[in-house]
Structure 1
Amino acid sequence: MIRSPRAWALEQNDRRIVFASGPEATMFAETRPFRVAQHRLPAWKAVLPIGGHAELLQPGQPMVTAPGLMVPPQLAHTCAATSPYIALFIDSWLLPYRSAPIRLDAGEVRRLLAALGTTDSDGAGTCADLTAGYSELQALTGRPRPLDPRVAHAIHLCTSRDPDMPITSIAHEVGLSSPRLRALVREDVGIALARLRRWGRLRTAIADLPDSTAALAAATAGFADQAHLIRTAQDFLGRTPASLRR
């Protein structure tokens, strides 16, 4: 179940995050066209322009353009939207594996925006209903296969419940050796457990950025320092934490 602990609103002339992350999904909005540098995100990304279109470029590949896009995890790419847009990040195991981006037509984008609570042409909304949005996404991609319960518990421990818990301790709690746990996570999710932990910390930091400095958000989320947060944001999102603040 995707949960949305706080309401969001897309404000005029505001270029940054307006929604705080939950355990399995993060959503934020841009109120103007925006482009991000090359990155690899360890989660699914839905780019939902409001009135424009999305552009995606992989190294050595022709540009992909569509009213909206769903980008699979770990795909190295640059991305842009030609209008205000909503970006929705969904943990990789919540949708079936794909190796290539999925083009969304205008009707699919409108349905997703409506499910997420976006009602106006400028993107103004009331409360993000990520559960409805997830149902719409599953209608487009199908249902994922269930995770091994040990993998699911390990991911919950290292990304949500106790992000500082050593992987050896996590492995012990789920009854596996550390190498076996790492291998099982890669087999089930396709992403290293350490990388998933960094993604969990980045989501926590993003949630704090509207009301905090980057240095304090980094410390609260468990990053070694602000530079570590900056490197992770650039690696995973193709942008700096400063671009996510007011």
Structure 2
Amino acid sequence: MLSADRAWTLEQNDRRLTLFAEPRPYEVGLHRHPAWKLVLADAEAVTTGGRAVSGPGLLVPPQLAHTCRTRTGYAALFLDPWLLAGPTEITPLPAPAVRRLRAALPDLDSAYVELVALTGAVPAGLDPRVAHVLRYGALAEEVGLSPVRLRTLVRESVGIPLVRLRRWARLRDAVGALSSVPPARAATDAGFADQPHLTRTARTLLGRTPASFRAAR
């Protein structure tokens, strides 16, 4: 279980899972991220079409615009879009599944195994060239592809434009650095033009500001 003093955590492993947790209820504005999001809390999410979904936990698919609020402290786990194959709508999770997943944290590998068992499917493996670019930020020429061919391969295999995936990776890097450096430094180190650029991106992809992450520490 996540202890109450872990008000802010962010960890990654070779499966590119990202986790953060807060001990308080929270609400985020309308946003759309290119990742799977698992919310482990008494939560409610509302899509842009006005459909509200609530439950002990929620699984939100990539690219779905939504707001989200929790009634308790929560853990949020983000997974790269190629790591799961599952529903295209927000799915409420039963309480036993939420308990198993929370018990598996903060061991992200164990949580991933539980989540795969819950959704029942894993996508086919990525083209090795695409996998290398997505994991290491390599350029097209480094994997023997033209930029156009690389963008096409990524969109065909992941379903999300490469530029959006790279922006998500920069945002994760910046948010991860907020625990140790000021927002302006986190922004430039992660490749954003400046701190306002980071703030706009965070609002778009996460529904909250970088300042809110620092306040949660």
Same fold (TM over 0.5): yes
Aligned residue for 2:179, secondary structure, equals: helix
- Asked if residue 156 in structure 1 is aligned to residue 135 in structure 2, the reply is yes
Check whether the contact 1:21–1:204 (CA below 8 A) recurs between aligned residues: no
C-alpha separation in 1, matches of 2:51 and 2:206? 21
The offset of 1:217, in angstroms, is: 0.8
Check whether the contact 1:44–1:72 (CA below 8 A) recurs between aligned residues: yes
Check whether the contact 1:42–1:73 (CA below 8 A) recurs between aligned residues: yes
2:109 maps to what in 1?
Answer: 131
C-alpha separation in 2, matches of 1:212 and 1:61? 38
Report Cα offsets for 1:155-209 as digits up to 9, x if no partner: 1232xxx6xxxxxxx2112222111110110111111111111111111111111
C-alpha separation in 1, matches of 2:10 and 2:49? 34
C-alpha separation in 2, matches of 1:192 and 1:62? 26
Q: Matches of residues 41-120 of structure 1 in structure 2 within 5 Å?
A: 41-49=33-41, 53-116=42-105
Report Cα offsets for 1:119-142 as digits up to 9, x if no partner: xxxxxxxxx210000000100112
1:36 equivalent among 28, 32, 42: 28
What RMSD, in angstroms, separates the aligned Cα atoms of the two structures? Answer: 1.6
C-alpha separation in 2, matches of 1:58 and 1:146? 30
1:18 maps to what in 2?
Answer: 9
1:5 maps to what in 2?
Answer: none
Check whether the contact 1:56–1:80 (CA below 8 A) recurs between aligned residues: yes
Check whether the contact 2:11–2:17 (CA below 8 A) recurs between aligned residues: no
Letter in 1 for 2:51: P
Which runs of no fewer than 5 residues in structure 1 stay unpaired? 1-7, 117-127, 163-169
Letter in 2 for 1:131: D
Check whether the contact 1:10–1:29 (CA below 8 A) recurs between aligned residues: no
1:194 maps to what in 2?
Answer: 163
Check whether the contact 1:21–1:206 (CA below 8 A) recurs between aligned residues: no
What is the number of residues matched between the two proteins? 212
- CA 1:10–1:217: 2 relative to 1, 3 Å: farther
The offset of 1:19, in angstroms, is: 2.4
1:182 maps to what in 2?
Answer: 151
The offset of 1:149, in angstroms, is: 1.2
Aligned residue for 2:178, secondary structure, equals: helix
- Asked if residue 235 in structure 1 is aligned to residue 204 in structure 2, the reply is yes
**How high is the TM-score relative to the length of structure 2?**
0.92
Report Cα offsets for 1:207-241 as digits up to 9, x if no partner: 11112211111112111111111011111100000
The offset of 1:9, in angstroms, is: 4.8
Which runs of no fewer than 5 residues in structure 2 stay unpaired? none
Give % identity. Answer: 54
1:226 maps to what in 2?
Answer: 195
